[in-house]
């Protein structure tokens, strides 16, 4: 049940491409089912991938290798981290297609083709095992996203599409030079080999900065986040879902796959920078979110705040922090995707994103209000939802490194509760001042099918996160082991104990516990 039998990853890359080509030549009524069928087929393949992935097996599974393009190797393979992110992509894609079913009426075939192309590129980013192949997938995503925002976006779509494209392109090109240097140095573009290559410490600094330029924009980190609110607001609903759900995760994935294990020393040196920017981001963008009048903009700013918790978690250099960061990425992918869908649902009815145009809609849309409430709570990080698990783990990990950073970053949760609940109150509760908002129909079957699966997974991840932690645990441990030599000392002076047996005695007898725990 592995690559020897069937090149699963190549098939997953090929299905959307073929479907995209088909969509270009058929009429709208046919393009929609083709796109839905292709994304569902990929989702099923993703489930197969998940089931047959062996968390205790080789580090890289489902590997494929072919020298098709000279120096660019067609090398694919996934570890647990890639697996979870690929799952996120293939899970969100059918939902995106469903979300666009009625709201997109012009140039449907091209729209579906762009989304399917996007899916291929997203899977490619997470599955590529060749540095150049990774770069190609990583950058190529700009083209379909540029078209999606520019053709099917809102009022200011052209400005937003340009800003999105040029910002991310400028971030990435310098990374390409760094990649070329690395390939020269190591003599190979093979990512697993590069992961165990020790680059000279001085070179690491420049390489790290070059990669940082790209991933920080993609993530996005303050102060290069400004493309995100524009892109989100102008993109069609499904575009926002895919942007928030998966594209932002490429930045986090990049930090995890490249910056940390390839440049451990540089990463350690730049912890103050990353933590500093993240702290600013959490507080600043949360405050900005608090005063937004536009629903999508509010969620976009909350994305920046959540991504800042991811960066804090990633640069903790310990298991908890990194695992937490990955769970925040997954959770945020689902929750912000769902929130954008929620916005899309009422936008389709009233054609405005202005918060004040709604109010009291829990009266006429009870089912919608319930789901919206669930996702709001998940975004806040209520225990029992996915948001809590990730944020708790990454902040717990961060505490070991910097208590100050943890303190500031944790205020993000409080502020998050502030702006999300305020948003919810203004939309769902209060008097029904707007007659047209009060007359809106509750969600129909199609919308239920879009939101309910996400709700289930959000709760699943919140109640039993082990399902999602199991595949990544060993791979995170590998990274932690790799970067251990550069790990920062930390200012909280925690004692290392065996957590399974000595859990409750830490505070009292920290020193002896290690020995006693071995009984």
Question: For residue 510, what is the enclosing H or E element?
Answer: none
Binding of other proteins by 181 (CB under 8 A): yes
Q: Is 325 exposed, middle or buried (0-12, 13-18, 19+ CB in 10 A)?
A: buried
Q: Please choose, out of 164-172, 227-235, 388-396, 477-485, the segment that lies near other proteins by the rule CB under 8 A.
A: 164-172
Q: Give the separation between CA 345 and CA 450, rounded to whole angstroms.
A: 10
3-state DSSP call for residue 355? helix
- Decide: 374 and 362 in contact? Cβ < 8 Å: no
What is the chain's percent helix, strand, coil content, to nearest 5?
Answer: 75, 5, 25
To other proteins, the closest distance from the beta carbon of 132 in angstroms equals 7
Question: Closer CB to other proteins, residue 147 or residue 279?
Answer: 147
Region of 178-186, 257-265, 384-392, 416-424 interacting with other proteins (CB under 8 A): 178-186
| Helix, strand, or coil (residue 66) | strand
What is the Cα–Cα distance from 472 to 85, expressed in whole angstroms? 11
Decide: is 40 part of the binding site for other proteins (CB under 8 A): no
User: If binding is defined by CB under 8 A, does position 201 make contact with other proteins?
Assistant: no
Q: Does 177 bind other proteins (CB under 8 A)?
A: yes
What is the SS3 assignment for 467?
helix
Query: What is the nearest approach in angstroms of other proteins to the Cβ of residue 162?
Result: 7
Q: Is 211 in the site for other proteins (CB under 8 A)?
A: no
Compute the least distance from the CB of residue 470 to other proteins, in Å. Answer: 34
CA–CA separation, 471 vs 153, rounded Å?
Answer: 37
Decide: is 72 part of the binding site for other proteins (CB under 8 A): yes
User: 70-73: long-range contacts (C-beta < 8 A, 24 or more apart)?
Assistant: 71/132, 71/189, 72/130, 72/132, 72/133, 72/136, 72/189, 73/129, 73/130, 73/132, 73/133, 73/189, 73/190
Please state the separation of Cα 448 from the chain's center in Å: 23
Q: Based on CB atoms, which residue is closest to other proteins, 71 or 445?
A: 71
Work out the burial of residue 196: count CB atoms within 10 Å of its CB; fewer than 13 is exposed, 13-18 middle, 19 or more buried: exposed
Least distance in Å: CB of 68 to other proteins? 7
d(C-alpha 178, C-alpha 316), whole Å = 24
Q: Does 477 bind other proteins (CB under 8 A)?
A: no
Under the binding rule (CB under 8 A), the answer on residue 158 touching other proteins is yes
* Residue 187 engages other proteins in binding (rule: CB under 8 A): no
At 61 the three-state DSSP class reads strand
Number of residues near other proteins (by CB under 8 A): 36
Q: Does 47 bind other proteins (CB under 8 A)?
A: no
Among 3, 41, 48, 169, which residue interacts with other proteins (rule: CB under 8 A)?
169
The answer to whether residue 215 forms part of the interface with other proteins (CB under 8 A) is no
Going by C-alpha positions, the residue among 289, 344, 278 that lies closest to residue 314 is 278
Residue 6 or 158 having the CB closest to other proteins: 158
Task: Specify the DSSP class assigned to residue 243.
Answer: I
68 scored as a contact of other proteins (CB under 8 A): yes
With CB under 8 A as the contact rule, the residue among 69, 404, 449, 460 that binds other proteins is 69
CB of 287 to other proteins, least distance (A): 32
Q: Which of the ranges 91-99, 156-164, 258-266, 490-498 carries the binding residues for other proteins, by CB under 8 A?
A: 156-164
What is 67-128 written as a DSSP string? Answer: EEETTEEEEEEE-HHHHHHHHHHHHHHHHHHHHTTTT--SSHHHHHHHHHHHHHHHHHHHHB
Contact between 132 and other proteins (CB under 8 A)? yes
d(CA 185, CA 194): 10
Least distance from other proteins to the Cβ atom of residue 194, Å: 16
Judged by CB under 8 A, which of 161, 278, 376, 379 binds other proteins? 161
For other proteins, give the closer residue by CB, 94 or 171. Answer: 171
Q: Which of 213, 211, 230, 210 shows the shortest CA–CA distance to 221?
A: 213
Among 81, 131, 145, 147, contact with other proteins (rule: CB under 8 A): 147
186 is an interface residue for other proteins by CB under 8 A: no
Range in contact with other proteins (rule: CB under 8 A) among 62-70, 357-365, 448-456, 504-512? 62-70
Find the part of the chain contacting other proteins (CB under 8 A) among 175-183, 439-447, 483-491, 493-501: 175-183
Residues 98-127 that bind other proteins (CB under 8 A): 107, 110
CB of 149 to other proteins, least distance (A): 9
* C-alpha atoms less than 13 angstroms from C-alpha of 252 in its C-beta half-sphere: 34
397 binds other proteins per the rule CB under 8 A: no
Q: Is 255 in the site for other proteins (CB under 8 A)?
A: no
Based on the shown chain and the rule CB under 8 A, indicate whether residue 26 belongs to the binding site for other proteins: no
In the bound state with other proteins, the residue whose beta carbon lies nearer, of 25 and 460, is 25
Binding residues for other proteins, rule: CB under 8 A, are 67-72, 107, 110, 132, 135-137, 139-140, 142-143, 146-147, 150-151, 157-158, 161-162, 165-166, 169-170, 173-174, 176-177, 180-181, 183-184
């Amino acid at each position: 049940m592995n690559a020897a039998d069937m090149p699963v990853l190549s098939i997953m890359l090929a299905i959307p491409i073929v479907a995209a080509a088909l969509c270009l030549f058929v009429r709208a009524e046919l393009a929609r089912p083709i796109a839905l069928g292709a994304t569902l087929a990929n989702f099923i393949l993703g489930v197969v991938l998940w089931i047959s992935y062996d968390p205790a097996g080789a580090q890289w599974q489902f590997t494929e290798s072919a020298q098709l393009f000279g120096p660019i190797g067609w090398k694919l393979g996934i570890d647990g981290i890639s697996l979870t992110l690929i799952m996120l992509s293939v899970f969100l894609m059918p939902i995106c297609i469903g979300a666009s079913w009625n709201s997109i009426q012009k140039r449907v075939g091209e729209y579906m083709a762009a989304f399917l192309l996007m899916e291929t590129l997203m899977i490619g980013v997470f599955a590529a095992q060749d540095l150049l192949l990774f770069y190609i997938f990583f950058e190529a995503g700009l083209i379909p996203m540029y078209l999606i925002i520019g053709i099917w976006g809102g009022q200011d779509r052209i400005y937003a599409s340009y800003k999105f494209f040029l910002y991310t392109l400028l971030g990435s090109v310098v990374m390409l030079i760094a990649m070329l240097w690395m390939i020269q140095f190591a003599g190979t573009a093979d990512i697993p080999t590069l992961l165990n290559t020790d680059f000279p410490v001085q070179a690491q600094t420049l390489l790290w900065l070059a990669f940082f330029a790209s991933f920080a924009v993609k993530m996005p980190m303050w102060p290069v986040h400004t493309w995100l609110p524009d892109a989100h607001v102008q993109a069609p609903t499904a575009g926002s879902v895919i942007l928030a759900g998966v594209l932002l995760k490429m930045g986090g994935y990049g930090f995890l796959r490249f910056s940390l294990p390839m440049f451990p020393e540089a990463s350690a040196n730049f912890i103050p920078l990353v933590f500093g920017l993240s702290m600013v981001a959490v507080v600043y963008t949360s405050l900005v979110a608090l005063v937004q009048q536009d629903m999508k903009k509010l969620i976009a700013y909350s994305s920046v705040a959540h991504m800042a918790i991811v960066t804090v978690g990633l640069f903790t250099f310990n298991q908890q922090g990194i695992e937490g960061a990955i769970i925040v990425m997954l959770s945020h992918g689902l929750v912000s995707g769902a929130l954008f869908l929620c916005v899309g649902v009422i936008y389709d009815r009233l054609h405005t994103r202005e918060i004040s145009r709604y109010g009291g809609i829990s009266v006429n849309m009870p089912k919608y209000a319930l789901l919206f409430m669930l996702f709001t709570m998940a975004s806040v990080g209520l225990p029992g939802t996915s948001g809590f698990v990730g944020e708790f783990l990454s902040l717990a990990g961060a505490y070991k490194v910097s208590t100050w950073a943890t303190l500031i970053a944790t205020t993000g949760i409080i502020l998050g509760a502030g702006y999300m609940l305020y948003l919810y109150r203004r939309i769902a509760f209060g008097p029904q001042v707007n007659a047209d908002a009060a007359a809106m129909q509750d969600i129909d079957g199609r919308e239920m099918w879009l939101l309910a699966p996400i709700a289930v997974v959000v709760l699943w991840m919140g109640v039993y996160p082990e399902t999602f932690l199991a595949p990544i645990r060993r791979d995170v441990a590998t990274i932690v082991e790799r970067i251990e030599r550069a790990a920062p000392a930390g200012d909280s002076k925690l004692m290392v104990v065996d957590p399974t047996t000595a859990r409750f005695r830490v505070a009292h007898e920290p020193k002896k516990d290690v020995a006693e725990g071995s009984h």
